[in-house]
């Protein structure tokens, strides 16, 4: 017998407020949407500037993912094959931090070209809503700063998956494995045909492992059968948040009338809660992509 108790009141978009952001982190709100968080003009400039610069993620089993910037995900062992080949030298982390260094100026450089640091606009709003939290890019010490704010094009779909670092990054001791709650934002730039995201009212637990597809980062559909789901249709300028521990999937973009495919371009970052270890400490919301 399944013992599904819905965590969400409804599957409607919630406004970008403190209460709903905390609700997202708690897994009680399906998703947040703020329409036209950035203007159509900025969205167009981002597309013009970055679409030609997209390149594929390293070593990700499954449909192609394109990006500008880097994802910590590219430095994880994902499939069983990759797990078996994983060295225990810790080189993956060193390679990752060398790469984040190369992308340090990405948002500042883009802002010179388009007239707004859009990554900073999102982070400033989050920090404003959560004044008692330290909101900052994840870091493990000098020269070990993560990268937050990847530009990504997912045109070919994703399997049903979740992004939950305590499980996903378990092969090494990454600081992001210590988060007790994890969410993601996606700022959409392009109108696409198809390409919706479904978020399922089903979070990763040990039981989800019974439905894990070990050849990719996906899970079998049965896991989310009978669960509520929220639907996000990308619109230029829209900013959405959901709890990334919830199972979710992106559907393929369909070719437009001219038979061409426009990049389903987003700016995305994870955020995770590191609770205070003593009364003197503040809670941290760490950011990474
Ligand atoms: O692009 C999206 O709508 C969601 C992609 C995704 O899997 C994520 O943000 O974790
Ligand atoms: Fe995801």
For residue 191, give the CATH number of its domain.
2.60.120.620
Residue 8 belongs to some domain of the structure? no
Regarding the beta carbon of 268 and ligand 1, being less than 6 Å apart is answered yes
Ligand sitting nearest the alpha carbon of 198: 1
Residue 1 belongs to some domain of the structure? no
Give yes or no for a contact between 175 and 140, defined as CB atoms under 8 angstroms apart.
yes
Residue 169 belongs to some domain of the structure? yes
Q: Which residues, at least 6 apart from 206, have a Cβ–Cβ distance to it below 8 Å?
A: none
Residue 122 belongs to some domain of the structure? yes
Regarding the beta carbon of 248 and ligand 1, being less than 6 Å apart is answered yes
Residue 127 and residue 257: Cα distance in Å, rounded? 42
Residue 266 belongs to some domain of the structure? yes
Regarding the beta carbon of 262 and ligand 1, being less than 6 Å apart is answered no
Centre of ligand 1 from the C-alpha of residue 186, in Å = 7
pLDDT on residue 286: 98
Residue span of the structural domain in which 275 resides: 13-288
Helix (H) or strand (E) run with residue 201 in it:
strand 197-203
Regarding the beta carbon of 184 and ligand 1, being less than 6 Å apart is answered yes
Residue 153 and residue 65: Cα distance in Å, rounded? 6
Q: What is the largest CA-CA distance in the chain?
A: 60
Paired with 31 in beta bridges are 13
Residue 77 belongs to some domain of the structure? yes
Give me the number of domains the chain comprises: 1
Q: Which atom of ligand 1 is nearest to the CA of 242?
A: 9
Which string of b and e fits 261-274 if b means at least 16 CB within 10 Å?
bbbbbbbbbbbbbb
Ligand sitting nearest the alpha carbon of 263: 1
Model pLDDT for residues 10-41, shown as the tens digit of each residue:
999 999 999 999 999 999 999 999 999 999 99
Residue 91 and residue 77: Cα distance in Å, rounded? 12
Residue 277 belongs to some domain of the structure? yes
Could you tell me which residue, 148 or 60, shows the higher pLDDT? 148
pLDDT on residue 1: 43
Mean pLDDT for the chain overall: 94
Model pLDDT for residues 106-117, shown as the tens digit of each residue:
999 999 999 999
Residue 177 belongs to some domain of the structure? yes
Regarding the beta carbon of 197 and ligand 1, being less than 6 Å apart is answered yes
Residue 279 pLDDT greater than 90, yes or no: yes
Ligand sitting nearest the alpha carbon of 155: 1
Centre of ligand 2 from the C-alpha of residue 47, in Å = 21
């Amino acid at each position: 017998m399944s013992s599904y108790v819905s965590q969400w009141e409804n599957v409607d978009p919630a406004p970008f407020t403190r209460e709903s952001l905390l609700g997202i982190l708690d897994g009680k709100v399906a998703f947040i949407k703020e329409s036209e968080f950035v203007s159509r003009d900025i969205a167009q400039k981002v597309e013009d500037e970055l679409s030609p610069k997209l390149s594929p993620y390293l070593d990700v089993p499954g449909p192609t993912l394109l990006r500008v910037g880097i994802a910590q995900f590219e430095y994880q062992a994902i499939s069983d094959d990759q797990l078996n080949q994983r060295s225990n030298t810790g080189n993956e982390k060193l390679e990752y931090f060398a790469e984040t260094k190369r992308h340090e100026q990405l948002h500042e450089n883009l802002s010179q070209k388009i007239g707004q640091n859009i990554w900073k606009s999102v982070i400033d709003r989050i920090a404003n809503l959560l004044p008692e939290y330290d909101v900052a890019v994840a870091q493990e010490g000098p020269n070990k700063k993560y990268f937050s704010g990847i530009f990504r094009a997912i045109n070919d779909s994703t399997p049903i998956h979740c992004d939950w670092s305590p499980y996903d990054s378990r092969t090494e001791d990454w600081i992001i494995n210590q988060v007790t709650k994890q969410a993601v934002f996606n700022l959409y730039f392009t109108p696409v045909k198809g390409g919706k995201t479904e978020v399922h009212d089903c979070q990763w637990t040990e039981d989800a492992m019974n439905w894990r597809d070990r050849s990719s980062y996906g899970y079998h559909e049965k896991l989310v059968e009978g669960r509520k789901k929220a639907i996000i249709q990308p619109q230029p300028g829209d900013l959405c948040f959901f709890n990334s521990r919830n199972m979710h999937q992106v559907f393929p973009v369909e070719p437009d009338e001219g038979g061409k495919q426009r990049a389903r371009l987003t700016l995305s970052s994870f955020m995770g809660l590191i609770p205070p270890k003593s009364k003197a400490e503040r809670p941290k919301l760490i950011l990474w992509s």
